[in-house]
Amino acid sequence: MIQCVDKKTLIIAHRGSSAYEIDNTLDSFQRAIDQKADMIEFDVRRTKDNVIIAFHDPAVSRTPVRELTYAELNELTKAKGYQVPTLKEILQLTHRKIRLDIELKEPGYEADVMKLVEKYFCAADFIVTSFKDSCLATIKEISDDIKTGLLLGEDRFNNFLLTNRSLSHLVERCRRTQADFLVPSMTLLRFGFMKRVAELKKNLIVWTVNDNESIFKLLKDSRVNAIITDKPDIGVSLRDTLSFPVFMSIACQKIS
């Protein structure tokens, strides 16, 4: 079960320890575990032959991942020196070692993902995030116990409009998805995002934060519950330098 980490903000390893290993690989995930990250974030897609995998990009060599079999996909990635892990392999590796932040890249197989995840993890030990409203809504239909996060930050111009003109669209998205967390890009923070969304009373997870100054600044910001970073070792090290209890973990604060 997810516990408070001495009231400190959580460090989430972005696609594993991706500053040091190929992202979304078992090596990257193992390194994040070794570096004492609190959670691992990874991207979920499904191949043509219905294998659920960790893979970020929608296509390889201009061919959509969903149009490739798992074997075909690995033939293409072999030239780059790595094998694409299946979700089952990830769950077996991480079971009872670390918590998970599972990003759904597209809708259509949410139930299949959850059926597999729940064989290894209880709802308290993972969250589901997505840019896709329909994915999050479907997860809540599967189980309201599963905590979800709405990812924000794909389009910089729309980010500006979102934070400077009106929050009504975001309020509606929160209502529609029933998201427990908001997961804004660092880019959004430049537009006064956290101040503007304070009225929503949502926990905040910020991505992707890699420079030491920004990591340390967010570690000291009581509005931030977790930081997603390619360098979990740096995040953990900087957090350890803080000698005072400051933050509640995302799992310990009751979601309104």
84: DSSP letter: P
Q: How far is CA 250 from the centre of its chain?
A: 12
- Whether residue 2 is contained in a domain is answered as no
Mean pLDDT of 193-213: 92
**249 near 4, Cβ under 8 Å?**
yes
The least confident of 28-42, 59-73, 142-156, 221-235 is: 142-156
- Whether residue 106 is contained in a domain is answered as yes
Residue 24 φ then ψ, to 5°: 55, 40
- Whether residue 253 is contained in a domain is answered as no
Check pLDDT > 70 for residue 210.
yes
CA neighbor of 45 nearest in space, from 27, 19, 31, 63: 63
- Whether residue 135 is contained in a domain is answered as yes
- Whether residue 209 is contained in a domain is answered as yes
Q: Which value, to the nearest 10 degrees, does the dihedral of the CA atoms of residues 36, 7, 171, 130 take?
A: 10
- Whether residue 21 is contained in a domain is answered as yes
Domain that holds residue 69: 10-240
Mean pLDDT of 43-67: 98
Report how far residue 176's alpha carbon sits from residue 15's, in angstroms, rounded to the nearest whole number.
27
**57 near 65, Cβ under 8 Å?**
yes
**99 near 37, Cβ under 8 Å?**
no
- Whether residue 47 is contained in a domain is answered as yes
- Whether residue 3 is contained in a domain is answered as no
Mean pLDDT of 116-132: 98
Enter the pTM of the model. 0.90
Report how far residue 180's alpha carbon sits from residue 177's, in angstroms, rounded to the nearest whole number.
9
Pairing mode, strands 181-184 and 226-229: unpaired
Whichever domain contains 131, its CATH number is 3.20.20.190
Read off the pLDDT of residues 75-101 as tens digits, 9 standing for 90 and up. 999 988 999 999 999 999 999 999 999
What is the C-alpha radius of gyration for the chain, rounded to an integer number of angstroms?
Answer: 18
Please tell me the total count of domains within the chain: 1
